[in-house]
Chains A and B, each alone.
Chain A
Amino acid sequence: MTTPGMAYLVDDDAALRDAIPWLLRSRGIPCRAWESAEAFLADYNDEMSGCLILDLRMSGMTGSELHERLLERGCAMPVIFLTGHGDVPLAVKALKRGAFDFIEKPFNDNELVDRVHEALQHEKNRRWQDGMKAAVMERLATLTEREREVMERILAGKLNKVIADELSIAMRTVEVHRAHIFEKMGVRSAVELAQRLSLLGPPGSR
């Protein structure tokens, strides 16, 4: 089981496969290295978590091609590209496709390590948000159909009386649903409920 703090390096240059992990480890970031995109793809699995460092120019499959493959396989790890002189257009393309950053060789001081750190932090946040989202979704799933209808109206800021009218139910019943919803979603107020649900994105996307 790899920790989210892991860095994965793909570079066809043996010296860099030795130097970069050594540098990252000097700052406490574990790193594994592969000599080609094909080798990495062979080892890749969904459990991997951390930051990808890809050399843009490699013999065989290039860094951006590897990135594309990984995106196809649903990989959401941040990617940092290593580029040389004149590769700027390629790097820009990669950024547009969702790369985290690119760093020109040779690197300035700890720039690479700093960017990896940021990426790992970013990844960690994303992971946590993903966890939160999953929890909210889990709670939402426990709501009954009637409770969902009531919840939507609560989020719309409607009063119990109005909700009762709209759904043609007794005001008392609305109050019971409201209590159930708050309990099931683990919130104490309508404001808290709205905050929880905002993690999932705008209301329309649910």
Chain B
Amino acid sequence: MTVPAVPRPAATSSGQLWWWLPRVSILLLVSGIFALFWYLQRSDREEQRATLISDMLWLEQSLRFVLDHNEDLLGRFDPQRIARRETFEAHAAPLVTSNSGVIQVLWLAPSGEKLDAYPPVADAPSVASPATGAATQRLAGSVAHAVYGPPYPVGSDWQFDVLVPVFRSGELAGIAVGVYSIRRLLADTVPWWIAERYRIAIVDQSGQRLGQRSNIAELETDNDYQMPFDPPGHGLILHATPYRSATPMAGRVIMTGLAFLAALVLFSLWTLRRHVQGRLAAESALQNEVAFRKAMEDSVQTGLRARNLDGRITYVNPAFCRMVGFSPEELIGRLPPMPYWAEEYLDETRAMHAKVLAGEAPSEGFEIKLKRRNGEIFDALIIEAPLIDSQGRHTGWMGSVVDITERKRVAELARQQEERLQASARLITMGEMASSLAHELNQPLAAISSYATGCRNLIAAGAPQSEIDGAIAKCQQQAQRAGRIIRRIYEFVRRQEPKSEPCDIGILLADLVTLLESEARRQRVRLQRDIAPDLPILQADRILLGQAILNLMKNGIDAMSQTDEAARQLTLRAALHDGQVLISVADRGCGIEPETAAQLFEPFYTTKQEGLGVGLKICRSVVEAHHGRLWFEANPAGGTIFHIALPLPAT
């Protein structure tokens, strides 16, 4: 292939755009979705964190409130009244039982000596309280308000003490101690809804967990929060770790769904792309194919014409348009009668059309006469084939049309030439025969004439009889020779006796008209035929009779060479009349003068320059051989009419 693939810039750039746009947008969409998720997660976490912080603040607040409340209660201990055991219990019991984390209340003397405890130390599981530590007691006595002691382990639990100095009339009257169990404190004070969400722990400075309230849920350790737990202080830290929330379950489902959908979208896009690529490849193949076919049908010289089942034209190719001279717009969609049908042959064309639509058209094609736009009639060979669509349905007929006018004309010309050749060969034979006969006859006649003249000369000179006798004998011999020649002519003519075969006069005359059409056109003579349709079939020599009538017609055409062109008309009539077939050839020529008329049928009489003068004689012989009659009369319109009357067969 030498055709360079010229890239079309516009198409390529738009194609690139076409290819890049979906990819980029898909990428953007996916990253947008991820960004959205990231943002949502982040804001979710921030919100969680905010909640956590506020929850912690609230928790710390409520812890402080509990501690402060207990402090306050402890501070209201009346040293005189609690000296009695019942009174102390009445004071201390609400503290221990009020679920505020206090597991034991102690009453210390200002000196630090333990005066009382509720519940009693022996009862209390873990009251080995060092809260009574001297330093703390001194500190509480000196600062004159509640002091918290450092945590200390008791079994698996950790405890811390709050020492509240009680003053009476400005004098330290004693120290009320509340022993807090961290576990108990957490259990009592952390509300369930916080415990649900976070693991709350109290951690000391070294990071050791002193107590916690926890579920067996997974922790979200990266999002914990801690704040100093003061009071009691001593470096204690309130530590909250949220549980990995089960709440994002719906979000996860949605996310998974989205991811799945995105994957699905990508997959479908990928499939779509493959499909589109396949389509594009197919399309380009199809385009190539279409271009190929288009080039083929444009270059082909055969006319193509498709019709649907109703006979409506659905397609014509350029060759067909050229052939008939109509444009595709004028033809497509037309129903019969088509503009290219010849009115003269409308019935035949219509019949053939119906046959084609019925599927009865001959598969080897048929010949038909069509008309070009300029009115010219031409012969076409049409081959019809059924049109089958991709679903296998029969949708119409495709006809290939070949203009065979030229082919037919050439064939016709060849035939005419052949006929003419035959005719002239016949004439030449006739002429040669006549000429050679004349020569041959001349020899004995010249001899006879010579002898006879010589005899007369001798007789006049008085010569003896004996001399004359010999010459007369030779005269006889020559006369016999002449007779033999005449017999030979007769035999020659006998050999050409006409055949007798069935002959359709109508067809014969139609053939003759066709044969003479071109000659008539050349001489600008209009041929008119008036041939009765019911002519019978005669027993005749078709060729001889045809030649005779053709000869008359040619004579008629030749006779009009001097006639005004407008008046040149040759009429061929044939009709059944009185038990005879009457054929007449009427010309509008110069007519026949009376003196010529007498000699017209004489052999070797001619008025033509190049004629031999045997034509009419032969015509008459042929007609007479068919038991007919040939005669002529003046044409009332000017010219001559030759008549041939042929009898019908006896049956």
- Show the binding face of A for B, using Cβ within 8 Å: 13, 15-16, 18-20, 22-23, 25-27, 57, 82, 84-86, 105-110, 112-113
Contact = CB atoms under 8 A, between A and B. Distances in A.
Contacts of A82: 446
A142 to B, nearest CB: 49
Given A22-B471, A106-B442, A15 B481 contact: yes
A105 B461 CA distance: 25
A19 B447 contact: yes
B191 interface: no
Contact of B478 (A15, A23, A84, A105): A15
A26 B451 CA distance: 10
A19 B453 CA distance: 10
Output the residue of A15, A26, A106 with the most chain B CB within 10 A. Answer: A26
Interface string B423-462: 0000000000001001100111111111101111110010
B444 A15 contact: yes
B439 A19 contact: no
A108 to B, nearest CB: 8
A13 B447 contact: yes
26 contacts: A13-B443, A15-B443, A15-B444, A15-B481, A16-B443, A16-B447, A18-B447, A20-B450, A22-B450, A22-B471, A23-B450, A23-B453, A26-B453, A26-B454, A26-B457, A26-B461, A27-B457, A82-B446, A84-B442, A106-B449, A107-B446, A107-B450, A107-B453, A109-B456, A110-B453, A113-B457
Interface residues of B, number: 26
A86 B435 contact: yes
B409 interface: no
Listed from nearest, the 8 A-B pairs whose CB atoms lie closest are A19-B450, A106-B445, A105-B446, A85-B438, A23-B454, A26-B457, A26-B454, A105-B442
B148 to A, nearest CB: 169
Contacts of B447: 13, 15-16, 18-19
Output the residue of A13, A23, A109 with the most chain B CB within 10 A. Answer: A23
A18 B481 CA distance: 15
Contacts of A22: 450-451, 454, 471
A86 to B, nearest CB: 5
Contacts of B448: 19, 106
B453 A109 contact: yes
B446 A19 contact: yes
Contacts of A85: 435, 438-439, 442
Given A13-B443, A26-B461, A85-B442, A107 B449 contact: yes
B467 to A, nearest CB: 9
Nearest to B438: A85
A18 B448 CA distance: 11
B474 A19 contact: yes
Given A18-B474, A85-B435, A106 B454 contact: no
Contacts of B439: 57, 84-85
A18 B454 CA distance: 12
Contact of A105 (B445, B451, B454): B445
B451 A19 contact: yes
Nearest to A82: B446
Nearest to A20: B450
Contacts of A110: 453, 457
